[in-house]
Amino acid sequence: MSSLELKDLYDGFRDPDVIKGYQKLIAAEAKKLDRNVNIMEVCGGHTHTIMKYGLTQLLPENINFIHGPGCPVCIMPKERVDHAYVLAMQPDVILLTLGDMIKVPGSHGSLQDARAKGADVRYVYSPMDALKIAEENSDKKIVFFAIGFETTTPMTAALLDVVIKRGINNIFFHINHVTVPEVMKELIDSRDEHVNSYDHRIDAFIGPSHVSVISGSKIYELFSIEYHIPVVVAGFEPVDVMEAIYMMMKQFNEGRSDLEIQYKRLVTPEGNLKAQALIEHYFEKVSLFKWRGMGNVPNSGLKLRDEFAAYDAEVLFENILPYDEIDDHKLCICGDILRGFAKPQECSVFGTACKPSSPLGSCMVSSEGACAAYYKYGNLI
């Protein structure tokens, strides 16, 4: 008989007393440290937790958060949104996607705007929902606009696996999956001496929670070994984040730059091998993927392997997809925010011309975006 209850997995990691306990432990370590440190939380889920629980207000002044680019909707470039828009506007296409993707503005508008013009755009809870939609609409081409980091890539692969095994011939994939270590590497490599001042130095990474459930913590070894930057893989609950910060502070004080797992209940160094095998079977890396606000990041995107080209919407619709480069909105500083060079409230249109109800940039569109988190929780420190 288990002594663990489901509610313990929620309440136990949100206990305000434990949060306060870590606050004291962190304060003691921070005092010993006697210097400022910048911690980047790579993942939007962590940004959300930090803002929602007001963790910045519980931490000493010498700990600063840099909000990273780990929000799949935020980093979606207009070029890819425009692909989705064009595909959705085809009379014989039903376009499916996840989450906030439907609200991201492209150069013609968002998928929501396409829907207002009569396009059949649907938000799905799970990629597997595509199976039923394909069955009910056998005269239509179902295009799954696949987004997300390593967390969601295996789910796309699992859908393709079923599509192939069942011989379904009207489901296609537009792949926009991206990978975390490559963008973390880009964030460090692209920091020249000018930005390597205190303001923008990354002293430690909070490793993403659920990317790591799939990929294992091993994908971050490079940062602790080659770059000598501590990485602590943390869960999404507030106690998880506070414990991870405490672990980092101890690393700083002990002069270590180790890769550690705080989120031990779900993350192992190896990760989910079956999910990794599915990804490996169906996907290969693309040499460049353009991230909104960050430009081209080497080896950070995935595409379907050539042997699965028959399911690739980019191959099938090659003649109608636009390939022009598009600049980001001039006033939006989402790029600088994703790189950690600016905070949302430093943007001239934050909370005025750009709000969750009428976003100019993608950091405001997604609930995981740094701007949306700052706007929602009013945590303007």
Residues that bind other proteins (CB under 8 A): 2-4, 6-10, 12-13, 15, 17-18, 21-22, 24-25, 43-45, 48, 70-73, 98-100, 125-129, 147-149, 151-152, 154-155, 158, 161-162, 208-211, 213-214, 236, 239, 243, 264-266, 272, 274-275, 278, 366, 368
Contact 46, 209 (CB under 8 A): yes
CB-wise, 1 or 330, nearer to other proteins? 1
CB-wise, 249 or 321, nearer to other proteins? 249
CB-wise, 70 or 77, nearer to other proteins? 70
Closest CA to 46 of 192, 168, 204: 204
How many CA atoms within 13 Å lie on the side-chain side of 216?
A: 13
Q: What is the C-alpha to C-alpha distance for residues 14 and 22, in angstroms, rounded to an integer?
A: 12
CB-wise, 237 or 312, nearer to other proteins? 237
What H or E segment, with its residue span, contains residue 353? none
Greatest Cα pair distance, the chain, in angstroms, is 68
CB-wise, 73 or 304, nearer to other proteins? 73
Q: How many CB atoms lie within 10 A of CB 109?
A: 15
Which residue is listed with tokens 């459930």?
213
Q: How far is the CB of 43 from other proteins (least distance, A)?
A: 6
Q: How far is the CB of 110 from other proteins (least distance, A)?
A: 17
Q: What is the C-alpha to C-alpha distance for residues 328 and 362, in angstroms, rounded to an integer?
A: 10
CB-wise, 43 or 321, nearer to other proteins? 43
Closest CA to 103 of 111, 94, 92, 95: 111
Closest CA to 192 of 203, 200, 180: 200
CB-wise, 86 or 98, nearer to other proteins? 98
Q: How far is the CB of 102 from other proteins (least distance, A)?
A: 13
Q: How far is the CB of 272 from other proteins (least distance, A)?
A: 6
Strand order in the sheet with 171-177: 120-123, 93-97, 141-148, 171-177
| Burial label, 327 (beta-carbon count in 10 A; 0-12, 13-18, 19+) | exposed
Q: How far is the CB of 152 from other proteins (least distance, A)?
A: 6
CB-wise, 242 or 297, nearer to other proteins? 242
What are the E-state strand segments in the chain?
Answer: 37-43, 63-70, 93-97, 120-123, 141-148, 171-177, 204-207, 231-233, 259-261, 283-291, 295-304
Q: What is the C-alpha to C-alpha distance for residues 76 and 106, in angstroms, rounded to an integer?
A: 9
Closest CA to 263 of 295, 287, 226, 235: 235
CB-wise, 214 or 297, nearer to other proteins? 214
Q: How far is the CB of 181 from other proteins (least distance, A)?
A: 16
Query: How, if at all, do strands 204-207 and 37-43 pair?
Result: parallel
Q: How far is the CB of 193 from other proteins (least distance, A)?
A: 33
Cα 207 off chain centre by:
11
Q: How far is the CB of 50 from other proteins (least distance, A)?
A: 14
Q: What is the C-alpha to C-alpha distance for residues 133 and 142, in angstroms, rounded to an integer?
A: 8
Q: What is the DSSP string of 310-337?
A: GGBHHHHTTTTS-----PPPSS--HHHH
Q: How far is the CB of 213 from other proteins (least distance, A)?
A: 5
Q: How far is the CB of 198 from other proteins (least distance, A)?
A: 30
CB-wise, 152 or 379, nearer to other proteins? 152
